[in-house]
A and B are shown apart, each in its own frame.
Chain A
Amino acid sequence: MGVYLLRRLGLMILTLWILSLIVFFAGQVLPGDPGRAILGNLASQNSVQVLDHQLGVDKPLLVKYGSWIGGLLHGNLGTSYEFRAAVGPFVRAALINSLKLAVLAFVIVVPLSILGGVVSALFAGRWVDRVISIAGLSLATVPEFVSGIVLIVIFGVELKWLPVSAAAGAGASDLSQFKHLILPAIPLVFVLFGYIARMARAGTIEALNSDYTRTAVLKGMPRGLVIRRHVLRNSLLPTITVIATQTGYLIGGLVVVETLFNYQGIGGLIYKAAQGKDFPMLESGVVVIGIVYVLATLAADLLLIWLNPRLRSEAGL
């Protein structure tokens, strides 16, 4: 366990370091002058320079990278240009909001897509399978803002069943918050459904064709029991990994969904920071997303090893 985990953590840190380089240098080629952007066109060149100096944007690239990464390691995400305040609390609050939305989307999509995938596999090649597969694939590539717009038109504007904004307002009850989050969660569910269902389908088909399933059927075990006890337990393993890797796509979707539904999450935060050229906010938000993704992948790998004894011995545990 020790060696595997160390190697895995080492690679993870390497990946995150490369990620920080990409993000930092992408941010550095941002055109324009942060001081000018904050003070506006009417400010004198002198005061712009003073502000730039205060912000530290006139320092050499490597010095800036060093102080940024040093701050990150100490949990200091920097100071927002736009709000002139520490980035940390903004990112934390946004992350919690996004988490609520993401959890709701996962709670809906995981059982639904596994069910879809298993049903697809049981009817492999028949029309039920084709409908689920093609619908899943199509929904997965319809951008969130497109399905979001259609949902808003139908359920928000025409039927007036659900609120079209995700923000429930300050002091809203949990139930009200939940109601506001349903509509934004559905486009995310659409995008994720296809992938997870596809994986569950493939895993189930593999398990259905296995020797142990044949043995169970031949010894006269009822079909329902075979599926529950032998097929599902084996077929869902690869699905777990897919669910974890989908967190990355989910966060990408959050940018759109949070913008569309006016929600104060990490996606919305990054988007506004990009528009306002709020460089520290943008960088930190993007790196935090990277960290969340890498941790989710690690968690999935460990879970998979824990669940599958064969992998456990391969990993040298």
Chain B
Amino acid sequence: MSDLTAEGAAAHVAVRLPSATADLPRWRLLVRRPTFVVGAAILLFWIVCAVFGHQIAPDDPLAQNLLGNNTAPAGTHWFGTDSLGRDVLSRVIVGARDILIITPLATILGTVLGTILGLFMGYFGGIFDLLVSRVVEAVLALPAVIISFLFIVALGPSTSTLILVVGLVFTPLIARTVRAAVLSERHLDYLAAARLLGENPLRVMFAEILPNVLPAILVEFTVRLGYAIFAIATLSFLGFGVQPPTADWGSDIAVSYQHDGLGAGYWWQTLFPALAIASLVIAVNLITDSVEQVQSS
């Protein structure tokens, strides 16, 4: 069923964009790659946790039990409890939600803005390109995490701020990639033809160039998704991201860490959320790597 609709959609696209047909068999190659399957399975697991977290979790992730705090993993609490006696397993499961909402949205925002900016820079070139390139370079001179928290301190931490700031910080990075892809297309015949036909620049950019640089943008998107998880988890850890008491891997680690949970030997409070983050980024990377391999094959 889903295969049929995919074929139908692809055929529909193929009529308008001949270049897209070449990518079709590659998608089939993708699902045959073990790295892709493993990555997708882990990601799917966390997506299920994000969507149905409250139903799956054995306990209420916010329910405190001060008499049973800091207990080690055992029968009733598989992952132990935190400093307020909340069930760590439940918090790890429910904690998938915010990061899986914020990261894709921030990455999509950055990709859309970066693509538009990159198309303009690559297509128009000249003084516009020169000036924007300087801004891009200035942003690149600062680590993403530092520039993000500079703005988050200013705007105050919230989910929408996080999406906006991380998306904007990623914009120049993605613009640079798209610009490079556009530059390699700029001297091809189909563009000269489009220009001779008198098509307006916007149409040339979005209807002619964009479909041809789409594979590069797709790879860039998956790469950035990995970085976005990195950045957002780090911001949460630093206290500029998702705020307690909401269950979140990064901030849960920070809270336990600040209470010297590690020094006291309560390793489960930090280790399990840490493994959750690691598994998520590794899953995204396995997918990214497969997409890149398939694209370049």
- Listed in ascending order, the chain A residues whose CB lies under 8 Å from chain B are 11, 14-16, 18-19, 22-23, 26-27, 29-31, 130, 133-134, 137-138, 141-147, 149-150, 152-153, 156-158, 164, 248-249, 251-253, 255-256, 259-260, 270-271, 274-275, 277, 282, 286, 289-290, 293-294
Give CA–CA (A143, B153) in the complex, Å: 21
Is the Cβ of B142 less than 8 Å from the Cβ of A145?
no
Q: Give the dominant DSSP class at B's interface.
A: helix
Expressed in whole angstroms, the minimum distance between the Cβ of B132 and any Cβ of chain A is 10
18 contacts between A and B (CB under 8 A): A15-B134, A18-B135, A19-B141, A19-B142, A26-B154, A143-B250, A145-B237, A150-B274, A150-B275, A150-B278, A157-B262, A157-B267, A164-B262, A248-B140, A252-B143, A255-B146, A275-B239, A293-B142
Q: What sequence of 0s and 1s flags, for each residue 136-164 of chain B, a beta carbon within 8 Å of any chain A beta carbon?
A: 01111111111101110111100000000
Q: Using a Cβ–Cβ cut-off of 8 Å, how many residues does chain B contribute to the interface with A?
A: 51
Give CA–CA (A143, B282) in the complex, Å: 11
**Chain A residues with CB under 8 A of B281:** 138, 141-143
Looking across the interface, which residue of chain B has its beta carbon closest to that of A23? B150
**Chain B residues with CB under 8 A of A277:** 153
**Chain A residues with CB under 8 A of B277:** 142-143, 146
- Listed in ascending order, the chain B residues whose CB lies under 8 Å from chain A are 35, 134-135, 137-147, 149-151, 153-156, 226-227, 229-230, 233-234, 237-240, 250, 253, 257, 262-263, 265, 267, 270-271, 274-275, 277-278, 281-282, 284-286, 288-289
Looking across the interface, which residue of chain A has its beta carbon closest to that of B283? A138
Is the Cβ of B143 less than 8 Å from the Cβ of A249?
yes
Give CA–CA (A12, B154) in the complex, Å: 27
Is the Cβ of A248 less than 8 Å from the Cβ of B141?
yes
**Chain B residues with CB under 8 A of A16:** 138, 141
Give CA–CA (A171, B203) in the complex, Å: 67
Asked whether A142 and B278 contact (CB < 8 A) given A30-B154, A255-B238, A271-B238, the answer is yes
Asked whether A150 and B271 contact (CB < 8 A) given A30-B153, A30-B154, the answer is yes
